[in-house]
Each structure stands twice: as C-alpha cells, then as structure tokens.
C-alpha cells in the first residue's frame, strides 16, 4: 500500500517556525518504519511574494490529490494593504471552498499539567477530552436573502438561517464517524424550540443515527442549555455536532476551557475520497502571530497536535496519535513551557525548537 501522503503549507509568520517542529515529529515516525510522503508548498503571503497569488492552481490541484493537508498560518501586516482578491486569507478560503470542507473539528482537551491554567475549577477540566463539530459552509453566514435594506423609512439588517437536508446529513455523518473513533457518544445541539432549521436539524440527525449509526449513543440539547452545560460539567460530552453559528460560539467557548491558543489544533473535513478517507485539512487554531514571529517564541504544540489529529482522523493511526499526545503530556509534566504557557511565574521559557526537540525525545 502507498505511504500516506501529506501536503505541508507552512504559510506566514510563525507558520514556518511551528511547522519545522512538526517535520521533526514526521521524521521520527519515518525513522520508526512509518514513512509519510511529504510535499511542501507555499500559501498566503509567501505564495503572493513568489507568484503574485495566495494559492496557485498547481498547489490547489496538489491539495485535492493528497490524503491530508497540514497548514501553518497565513497573513501578516506586510500584506494588509493588498487588494482583497490576493489577500493571504483568500488562499485559505479557496482551499476550504474547493475541497468543500464542511465539517470543522475543534477539540477541547486538557493536559493534566495545564489544568491550573483554566479559569474553571481543576476537577471540572482535568482529563477533559471532547470534540465540537461545527458545520462550516452553510447556515446563517451564507443564507439568502441577506443585506441591509430600507423598510418603512428605517434600515433593516437581514440574514437568513437556512439548512437543506443533505447539508445536515453530511455533517451528521462526519460527526457519527468521529464518535465511532472516540467514545461512541454524540450530542446534537440546535434551537428546535424556536427555529424551523433547528426542527429539521434534530429530525435529520436522529434519522441518520437510527438508520446508519444505531451503535452510537445520540442525544439532543438546545444550544443555550448546551453552552451552560459546557461550562458546568464539560466531561458529560464526547462529540458535539452543531450548526455554523452555534458552532462558532460553542467551539471557542469549549476550546478556551483548557488554556492557551498555542495548544489548540483543528481539522476541517469534507466528503470521503475514493480511498474512503475524508478530504481533510489540519491547522492550528492560532494565526500567524506577527508580534512574535521570527523570535523562536511560538508554541509548536497546536501544530503538532494538528498532525496528531491527521494521524487519528485521516490515517486511522489512533495509537500513533495517542503517542504524540502522550509525548506532549510528558514534556508539560516535566515543566517545559513556551512563553505563552507561563503566566506571572518567573520561570524561563523554552524556545520553539527546544519544545519540538523535547517532544521528539519523549516519543
């Protein structure tokens, strides 16, 4: 069988710095008899500087062919004045759109060594490991009609919440598949009490569950109650699936239960390809962090954990993913901290590269 293939797009700012540490982890797997076919290309400002566009057609074509794309970050002050059509962020948007990545996965995972870092009580977050699946390509952010119009001599802002059955079905399937790879438990969140799209959402998710995933334990919750439960006792959940708007709010809330932006990975998945693997792009939640770029201060863990998600969700290498996460847990338990993980403490931070080396040593 062919090696799993990865396209690496380091991008701008701290993107290349954190991606260099991921390369060390990938190389370690290669040295252990698990090689990946890795190719690397430009995206964002870096691609604009070289080619005058934030994503070339050739790079786009490559992204469509590989098993998974791993992206660093795009953008930076250098590109602020560019025309909208060639802004670095447009490269990322084109990837998402043309790969049709409709399911956005945001884990909230708490490493024991960082449990004190949360604003919540330690026993609420210690050991937390949940996943929010947010529908990313439809709903109120895209529904028509939209706009600002004038009615009865005043202006009216209009957006439309709209979901088709097939849009709900496909994101529900992604969430059920994930639940099967995790704790076999899925909670769907909407507002079926006040929204027609919520009524349809609940009905379709229930039907997909009954027909295709009877082995997965399915529950439903109103999204406002879900927000409350997420802060009260988040460990009651495993996988949560919700729409674009509620997912935007709930995934930020859930992610920050556990600490720094420098720790948070994400994945965006599309439909299964011919080999059965979903179209997939993995990236840290953080951006290009121009304020610390080029200084060896960036925390590479979010990007390394994004690679771990690729191992688990694109390559069915759950044990390898566990191993990467355990290595991260180990270096944190040993007291290693990049600057973003040190509050007011007087401890000296480690560099991006030292953190990557320590994680490889722990592997």
Helices 196-212 and 165-181: crossing angle in degrees, nearest 10, is 50
Q: Is 116 in the site for ligand ATP (CB under 6 A)?
A: no
Residues whose CB is less than 8 angstroms from the CB of residue 349 and which lie 6 or more positions away in sequence, other chains included: 297, 337, 338, 339, 341, 342
Task: Closer to ligand ATP by CB, 247 or 287: give it.
Answer: 287
Binder among 266, 299, 306, 314 for ligand ATP (CB under 6 A): 299
User: Is residue 252 flagged as an active site residue?
Assistant: yes
| 219: phi then psi, degrees, rounded to nearest 5 | -135, 165
Binder among 107, 247, 287, 356 for ligand ATP (CB under 6 A): 287
Contact window for ligand ATP (CB under 6 A) among 58-66, 181-189, 280-288, 314-322? 280-288
Is residue 96 marked as binding?
Answer: yes
Binder among 106, 286, 312, 337 for ligand ATP (CB under 6 A): 286
The gap from C-alpha 54 to its chain's centroid, in whole angstroms, comes to 21
Q: Is 261 in the site for ligand ATP (CB under 6 A)?
A: yes
Is residue 81 marked as binding?
Answer: yes
- Interface of this chain with ligand ATP, residues 52 to 111, rule: CB under 6 A: 75
Q: Is 340 in the site for ligand ATP (CB under 6 A)?
A: yes
Task: Closer to ligand ATP by CB, 69 or 292: give it.
Answer: 292
Question: H or E stretch including 267?
Answer: strand 265-272
User: Is residue 222 flagged as an active site residue?
Assistant: no
| 122: phi then psi, degrees, rounded to nearest 5 | -55, -45
CA 161 to each of CA 110, 131, 138, 244, 357: distance values in angstroms, whole numbers, following the listed order: 33, 24, 9, 10, 47
Does residue 308 sit in helix, strand or coil? helix
Q: Give least dist CB 354 to ligand ATP, A.
A: 14
User: Is residue 191 flagged as an active site residue?
Assistant: yes
Is residue 282 marked as binding?
Answer: no
Q: Give least dist CB 203 to ligand ATP, A.
A: 35
The residue annotated as part of the active site, out of 141, 181, 185, 354, is 141
Q: Which residue is nearest to ligand ATP (CB)?
A: 287
Gap between the Cα atoms of 306 and 328, Å rounded: 12
User: Is residue 224 flagged as an active site residue?
Assistant: yes
Is residue 197 marked as binding?
Answer: no
Classify residue 275 by its DSSP letter. Answer: T
Is residue 87 marked as binding?
Answer: yes
Q: Bridge-partner residues for 299, per DSSP?
A: none
Enter the tokens of residue 114: 């960082």
Enter the tokens of residue 319: 């044990």
Q: Is 298 in the site for ligand ATP (CB under 6 A)?
A: yes
Classify residue 142 by its DSSP letter. Answer: T
How many contiguous H segments (helices) and E segments (strands) does the chain have? Answer: 12, 12
Q: Is 309 in the site for ligand ATP (CB under 6 A)?
A: no
Does residue 150 sit in helix, strand or coil? strand
Tell me if 14 sits within 8 A of 298, measured CB to CB: yes
User: Is residue 67 flagged as an active site residue?
Assistant: no
Question: Which residue ranges make up the annotated binding site for Mg(2+)?
Answer: 224, 248, 252
Question: Which residue ranges make up the annotated binding site?
Answer: 76-89, 96, 106, 134, 224, 248, 252, 287-299
Active-site residue list? 141, 191, 224, 248, 252
Residues forming contacts to ligand ATP in the complex (CB under 6 A) are 14, 18, 75, 261-262, 286-289, 291-292, 298-299, 302, 340
């Amino acid at each position: 069988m062919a090696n799993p293939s990865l396209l690496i797009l380091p991008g701008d700012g701290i993107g290349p710095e954190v991606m260099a540490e991921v390369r060390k982890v990938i190389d370690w797997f290669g040295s252990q008899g698990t090689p990946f076919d890795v190719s690397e290309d430009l995206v964002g400002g870096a691609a604009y500087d070289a080619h005058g566009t934030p994503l070339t057609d050739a790079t786009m074509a490559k992204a469509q062919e590989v098993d998974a794309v791993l992206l660093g970050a795009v953008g930076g002050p250098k590109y602020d004045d560019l025309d909208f059509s060639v802004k670095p962020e447009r490269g990322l948007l084109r990837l998402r759109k043309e790969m049709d990545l409709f399911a956005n996965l945001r884990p909230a995972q708490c490493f024991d060594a960082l449990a004190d870092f949360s604003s919540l009580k330690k026993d609420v977050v210690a050991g937390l490991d949940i996943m929010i699946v947010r529908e990313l390509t439809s709903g109120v952010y895209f529904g028509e009609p939209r706009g600002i119009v004038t009615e009865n001599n005043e202006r009216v802002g209009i957006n439309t919440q709209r979901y088709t059955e097939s849009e709900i079905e496909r994101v529900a399937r992604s969430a059920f598949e994930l639940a099967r790879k995790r704790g076999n438990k899925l909670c769907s969140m909407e507002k079926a009490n006040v929204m027609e799209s919520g009524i349809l959402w609940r009905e379709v998710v229930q039907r997909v569950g009954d027909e295709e995933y009877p082995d997965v334990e399915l529950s439903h919750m109103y999204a406002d109650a879900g927000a409350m439960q997420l802060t009260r006792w988040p460990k009651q959940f495993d996988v949560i699936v919700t729409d674009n708007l509620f997912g935007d709010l709930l995934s930020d809330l859930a992610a920050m239960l556990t600490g720094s932006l420098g720790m948070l990975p994400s994945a965006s998945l599309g439909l299964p390809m011919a080999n059965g693997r979903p179209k997939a792009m993995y990236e840290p939640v953080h951006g290009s962090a121009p304020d610390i770029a080029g200084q060896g201060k960036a925390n590479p863990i979010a990007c390394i954990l994004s690679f771990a998600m690729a191992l688990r969700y694109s390559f069915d290498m759950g044990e390898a993913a566990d191993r990467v996460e355990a290595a991260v847990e180990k270096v944190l338990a040993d007291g290693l901290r990049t600057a973003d993980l040190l509050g007011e403490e007087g401890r000296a931070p480690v560099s991006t590269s030292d953190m990557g080396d320590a994680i490889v040593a722990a592997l």
